[in-house]
Amino acid sequence: MDPEALKDMLRVGTRSVEAYQAYLRGITWSAQGRANDDEDALLSSYDMYEQARSIDPNFSIAHQQAAAFWTVQADPTLTYSNLTNATAAEIDSKFLERINRAIETAANAIDRQGLEAEKAMFETRLRRALRLYKNYLEQRPNDLDA
C-alpha cells in the first residue's frame, strides 16, 4: 500500500491491511447499495464489516458500521429495513454486541462518547443521547452523522 493509504488505514483505527480492505469494500458496497436500491449490495456491505471486525477485533469503526446495519434493520420506516429474518430481540442483541465492542475499542474518550450517544438513541434514552451528542459535537462539530 502506498504511504497515504497506510496513513488512512491507521487513521480509521486498524493496523491490519486485510481488515482495512474489507472495511473499504464495505463502504463501497454500502454506497452502491443505497445508490442503486440494491439489497444484495447492502448485505454484502454488512458481510465486509463483519469480516473486518473478525480480522481485527479492535477495529472500532468496523464494529460501529456493523452496528449501524442493525440500527437500520430495527427501523421499519427505512427503505432498507427488514433485509434479514432477524426478530426484534435478535436485532437488539446484534446491535448491542457490536456497539458495545465499538465503545470498548474506541480510540479515545471523544469517539467513545459519540458511540455512547448512538447506543442511547437506539435504546431511546433520548435525554442521555442529546447530552452525549452535545458534548461530542463540541469536539467534533463537523460530524454530519451526529
Is residue 63 a contact partner of residue 101, using CB atoms and an 8 Å limit?
Answer: yes
**Average model confidence (pLDDT) across the chain:** 94
Average pLDDT over residues 3-17: 86
Q: Specify the DSSP element, H or E, that contains 14.
A: none
Is residue 83 a contact partner of residue 43, using CB atoms and an 8 Å limit?
Answer: yes
Distance CA 87, CA 92 (A): 9
Residue 128: inside a domain: no
Q: DSSP secondary-structure letter at 142?
A: T
Distance CA 66, CA 38 (A): 18
Is residue 97 a contact partner of residue 83, using CB atoms and an 8 Å limit?
Answer: no
Per-residue confidence (pLDDT) for residue 78, from 0 to 100: 86
Residue 114: inside a domain: no
CA distances to 43, 58, 131, 136 from 30, in Å? 8, 22, 30, 25
CB atoms within 10 A of CB 92: 15
Q: How confident is the model at residue 1 (pLDDT cuts 50, 70, 90)?
A: low
The pTM for the full model equals: 0.93
Q: How confident is the model at residue 12 (pLDDT cuts 50, 70, 90)?
A: confident
The residue segments making up the domain with residue 54 are 3-107
Residue 102: inside a domain: yes
C-alpha cell at 124: 431511546
Residue 80: inside a domain: yes
Residue 100: inside a domain: yes
C-alpha cell at 86: 432477524
Is residue 72 a contact partner of residue 81, using CB atoms and an 8 Å limit?
Answer: yes
Q: How confident is the model at residue 84 (pLDDT cuts 50, 70, 90)?
A: very high
Residue type, 72: V
Q: DSSP secondary-structure letter at 108?
A: S
In the chain, how many domains are there? 1
For residue range 89-116, list pLDDT tens digits in order: 999 999 999 999 999 999 999 999 999 9
